[in-house]
Structure 1
Amino acid sequence: MKAAVYYENGGPEVFRYEDVADPECHRKGIVIRVEAVSIEGGDTLNRFRGPLVTRPHIVGYQAAGEVVQVGEDVTDIRVGQKVVTTGGFGSHAELRAVPARTAWVIPEGMAVKQAAVIPVPFGTADDCLFEFGRMKKGEIVLVQAGASGVGVAAIQLAARAGAAMVLATASSDERLERLKPLGLTHGINYRTHDVAQEVARLTDKHMADVIVDSVGGPTLQSSINSLAYRGRVSMVGQAGREPMKVDVGSMMGGNRSLSGVFLGAEITTDRVHDNIQKLIGDVARGELKVVIDREFPLSEAAEAHRYIESRQAVGRVLLIP
């Protein structure tokens, strides 16, 4: 099969488009013919500095396509079905092998490309808001990196849950404008405004009750500074790639809290697995929207990663084998 591979960590230029061996099907797993790869934030971070589990290494968490092989112990998925899959690596390829437990059947009539972008971003956003952020109707929510995959999902989920106000940050006014139809109340351009000061102004100094932060680094400090009394930050990922140096002293006086969130730690549990299947159904019924910014051929993985890192995208970028 063809795959986008690399032999060393680095920038997008490390990618090579090569023939590699087809993946083997585990007795508790499946193999899919990939139709759409959703490039996740962790994919660019892993390419930059993550471990090379295989050599050459095929990076990538999430991809969707048609099941072409099923392990002998798998009873709930069959050859010919369309599924979306997650895994620690291996999405940037024509074929992909994963445990059946990290695959979700795509409802009849739903576009594979739509389903391809759901499990990690929407599952993560849902956990950040509700499982760990304990969001309640009428609260104020701030989403850092609102134009990211997690951000697009979090804005919609918070608005649907009855947030009194949904705030989000992005690198340009244009990107923020594109988020308004999803439920954004006010956008904050972090290049031109101090985030905490803007949150104070927009909320009449109430600040944010729940914050979803997928950036980390210095952005995490701005999240902490934006918290209301008893406010909660769900910190997920480190898209900013900078050290996590923060002053948490201010959190104690306001009974505030900071939770680290990693969907992968619980993705095989019934709770997360069933929730992701529900979110896929919500999108299929039109209750939630996915945003696909651009598509690139798999052979142009380097260009796709470079585009994502330019911070122009709103939503997800796809690779198409």
Structure 2
Amino acid sequence: MKAAVYYENGPPEVLRYEDVPDPQCHPKGIVIRVEAVSIEGGDTLNRHGGPLMTNPHVVGYQAAGTIIEVGAEVTHLKVGQKVATTGGWGSHAELRAVSAKTAWLIPEGMDVRHAAVIPVTFGTADDCLFEFGRLQKGETVLVQAGASGVGVAAIQLAARAGASMILATASSDERLEKLKAIGLTHGINYKTHDVVQEVMRLTDKKGVNVIVDSVGGPTLQSSIGSLAYRGRVSMVGAAGREPMRVDVGSMMGGNRTLSGVFLGAEIATDRVQKNIAKLIADVASGELKVMIDRTFPLSEAAEAHRYIESRQAVGRVLLIP
């Protein structure tokens, strides 16, 4: 099969388009013919400095496609069905082997490209807001990196839950403007404005109740500084690639909470399995929307990664084998 691979960590240029052996089907797994790859923020982080689990390494968490092989111990899936899948690596390829536990059926008629985006992205946003952020109707929300995949999902989920105000940060006014159609109340351009000052101005110095932070580094400090009394930060990544040095002293006086969130730790649980299935159904019905910024051929994976890192995208960037 063809795949986008690399032999060492580094910039997008390390990615090569090569022939590699087809993946083997585990007794508890499936193999799919990939139809759409959703490039996750973690994919670019892993390419930049993560472990190489295979040689050459095929990076990537999320992909959707058609099942072409089913393991002997799998009874709930069959060849020919379309599924959205997640896994530790292996999405950037024509074929992909994954555990049957991390594959969700795609409803009849749903766009496979949309389904490819959902499991990790929407599942993570949902956990940040509700499982760990404990968001209640009428509360206020700040989404750091609002134009990211998790950001787009979080804005919509917060709006659906009845948040009274939804703020989000991004690198340009143009990107923020596109988010208003999915529920954004106010955008904050972090290149031209101090995020904490803007949050306090927009909330009459009260701060926000729940924050979704996928950036980390210095951005996490601005999240902590933007919290209301009893506010909660869900920290879900380090997309900024900067050291995570923060002062949490201010959290005590305000009875504030900082939670680390990693969907993968619970992805095989009934709770998360059912939640992701529901989120896929909600997108299929039109209740929630997927924002696809651009698609690239799998052979242009390096260019796609380069585009993502330019911080121009709003929503997800896909690879099509």
* TM-score class, shorter: over 0.9
For 1:146-165, list aligned pairs within 5 A. 146-165=146-165
Instruction: Spell out the pairing of 1:137-216 with structure 2 (5 A cutoff).
Output: 137-216=137-216
Correspondence 1:52 to 2:52: yes
Counterpart code for 2:26: H
Aligned residue pairs, count: 321
Kindly state the Cα deviation for residue 206 of structure 1 after the two structures are TM-superposed: 1.2
- Report what 2:241 is aligned to: 241
When normalised by structure 2's length, the TM-score is 1.00
Stretches (4+) displaced over 4 A: none
SS in structure 1 at match of 2:79? coil
Scaled by the length of structure 1, the TM-score of the pair is 1.00
Aligned partners of 2:237 and 2:270: how far apart in 1? Answer: 23
CA deviation profile, 1:137-175 (whole Å, cap 9, x unmatched)? 000000000000000000000000000100000000000
Which string of whole-angstrom CA distances, capped at 9 and with x for unpartnered residues, describes residues 61-120 of structure 1?
Answer: 000000000001101111000000000000000000000000000000101001010001
Measured against aligned partners, the alpha-carbon deviations of 1:18-73 in whole angstroms (never above 9, x if no partner) come to: 00000000000000000000000000000000000000000000000000000011
Amino acid at match of 2:295: E
* Aligned-pair CA distance for 1:217: 0.3
Quote how far apart the aligned CAs of 1:303 are: 0.1
The Cα RMSD (Å) is 0.3
**Where do 5+ consecutive residues of structure 2 fail to align?**
none
Name the structure 1 match of 2:17.
Answer: 17
Residue type at the aligned position of 1:315: G
What is the CA–CA distance in structure 1 between the aligned matches of 2:87 and 2:162, rounded to whole Å?
A: 33
Aligned-partner residue type, residue 170 of structure 1:
A
Deviation digits for residues 299-320 of structure 1 (CA, Å, limit 9, x no counterpart): 0000000000000000000000
Instruction: Give runs of aligned pairs for residues 1-321 of structure 1, distance below 5 A.
Output: 1-321=1-321
Partner amino acid for 1:140?
Answer: T
For residue 203 of structure 1, what is the amino acid of its counterpart? T
What amino acid is aligned across from residue 55 of structure 2 in structure 1? R
Letter in 2 for 1:151: G
CA–CA separation in structure 1 for the residues paired with 2:185 and 2:16: 42
Instruction: Name the SS of the counterpart of 2:220 in structure 1.
Output: helix
CA–CA distance in structure 2, aligned partners of residues 58 and 112 of structure 1: 21
Secondary structure at the aligned position of 2:241 is classed as coil
The amino acid across from 1:45 in the alignment is: L
Partner SS state of residue 21, structure 1 = coil
Q: Percent identity?
A: 83
The 1-side partners of 2:94 and 2:184 are apart by 37
For residue 47 of structure 1, give the secondary structure of its aligned residue in structure 2. helix
